[in-house]
Amino acid sequence: MKKLFLSFLIPLFTVNAFAQTFDKDKLDLYLQTLENNNKWMGSVAVSENGKIVYTKSIGYSDVATKTRPTETTKYRIGSISKTFTSALVLKAAEENKLSLDTKISKFFPNIKNADKISIANLLNHRSGIHSFTDNENYLSWNTQKKSEKELLKIIEDGGSDFEPDSKADYSNSNYVLLSFILEKVYNKTYSEILSEKIIEPIGLKNTYYGRKINMNNNEANSYTFADEWKKESETDLSIPMGAGAIVSTPSDLLQFSNALFNGKIISEKSLQLMETIKDNYGSGLFQMPFGTKKAFGHTGGIDGFTSNFGYFPAEKVAFAYTSNGSNYNNNNIAIAILSAVFNQPYEIPSFQTVDLSSNDLDQYLGIYSSKDIPLKITITKNDKTLMAQATEQSSFPLEATDKNIFKFDQAGIVLEFKPSDKKIILKQGGKNYNFTQE
């Protein structure tokens, strides 16, 4: 599937050391602008040398009751859970509970290629095991509780996408299997292991294995935006387990990252293994460039929740955000946060739009193809809203910002139409792609 979404930080400028004059007011204004325009809801935190230097929460943790989030409002962090799980597996290896070289046939003999797949292959996404969250029917059953037996059957039936260790490709199935392995070698639940090995030793106050969302426990609901914030359904957390079932806050994520990268959870040797990047994948970590600086971290997404954390080892600077509603490009938000941190220029976004009639939109309708990328874009309309749909992707609404210029903030996409030439210029991630009407 060809995707128009960006995943990591890719600004091209050089950054300096952590600014002594961190402009908190400007970052406050940036986030407040997002809130005022229904672009983002969530919480942000930044730390330097293990000390929290900035926090901010915007939007609502519950839209229906207009409940505001606080620094301790808890969010589902999705795949950031994998960083916790990877640390737990490496901790188990340090305690001689398992070996990373062990083939998973010891635990799951019915999985295809189980006798070729090591625990290490699960950690760095080199197993070839198909990710069950990519199944077409996944969203028809993800809200239903699943047992280990049921999940294993789903993973077994998914088969293999490539020969083990021949390449890397992201698979949530890997980290569900790692969760089961941890439970087997410790003879405890994943939740108990998480608490005993990470949460309690480093003193996390607002992090735990999630359950059904509980507003009375200051937990946020999640939302998508379609003219207004609409509540999302809840994935049953028996399904993602260590691949995506942890609940936390930005401040706790910073405390976790500072502990992880400073030897308080696993050894330096184990941390180096997590940081070792091969074919763009580490073991529960990705490398995130910001100018000439490099962070290690992970992003997360589940239902309407999105999240991100990164730690810059050289600067001992960390950032994290947790969101329960995003109608904007999260990559831009991360760049703005780090631009503020490293005293780099960034702009407060303008969300000015122009009002067009349904008849005005007719000149843009059609199917457009490109010689630049193997992608087609179909432009339709829904009353006074222009809609775009790329090959094999869902349609998305476009906002008119000027004559012939439309945008989709969530993916950082700008479409510049040239009706007389029957052309479109698609702008995303600093690149331009030319499309011509068929």
- Classify the C-alpha dihedral 426-2-143-283 as positive or negative: negative
pLDDT at residue number 18: 53
pLDDT at residue number 11: 38
- The candidate with the shortest Cα–Cα distance to 198, out of 69, 92, 73, is 92
Place of tokens 């609404």: 397
For the domain made up of 358-437, give the CATH fold: Lipocalin (2.40.128)
Name the token pair of 171: 């698979």
Q: What is the largest CA-CA distance in the chain?
A: 69
pLDDT at residue number 21: 67
pLDDT at residue number 428: 87
Name the token pair of 201: 């030793």
CA atoms of 129 and 178, how far apart (whole Å): 13
Strand partners, 411: none
Q: Give the contacts of 334 (CB within 8 A, at least 6 positions apart).
A: 9, 308, 310, 319, 321
CA-CA distances (angstroms) from residue 236 to 67, 145, 174, 340?
24, 6, 18, 37
Q: Are 300 and 245 in contact (CB under 8 A)?
A: no
Q: Are 172 and 244 in contact (CB under 8 A)?
A: yes
Q: E strands within 383-438?
A: 385-390, 396-402, 405-408, 413-418, 423-428, 431-437
Q: Are 76 and 247 in contact (CB under 8 A)?
A: yes
Q: What's the one-letter identity of residue 368?
A: Y
pLDDT at residue number 20: 60
Q: Are 168 and 279 in contact (CB under 8 A)?
A: yes
CA atoms of 103 and 105, how far apart (whole Å): 5
Strand partners, 436: 369, 423
408-415, Cβ contacts within 8 angstroms, sequence gap of 24 or more: 409/39, 409/327, 409/328, 409/329, 409/351, 410/326, 410/327, 410/328, 410/329, 411/4, 411/5, 411/6, 411/329, 412/6, 412/329, 412/331, 412/332, 413/4, 415/377, 415/388
The ranges of the chain with pLDDT < 50 are 1-17, 19
For the domain made up of 24-341, give the CATH fold: Beta-lactamase (3.40.710)
- Classify the C-alpha dihedral 325-327-328-330 as positive or negative: positive
Name the token pair of 247: 């609940």
Q: Give the contacts of 200 (CB within 8 A, at least 6 positions apart).
A: none
What residue segments make up the domains of the chain, in order of their start? 24-341, 358-437
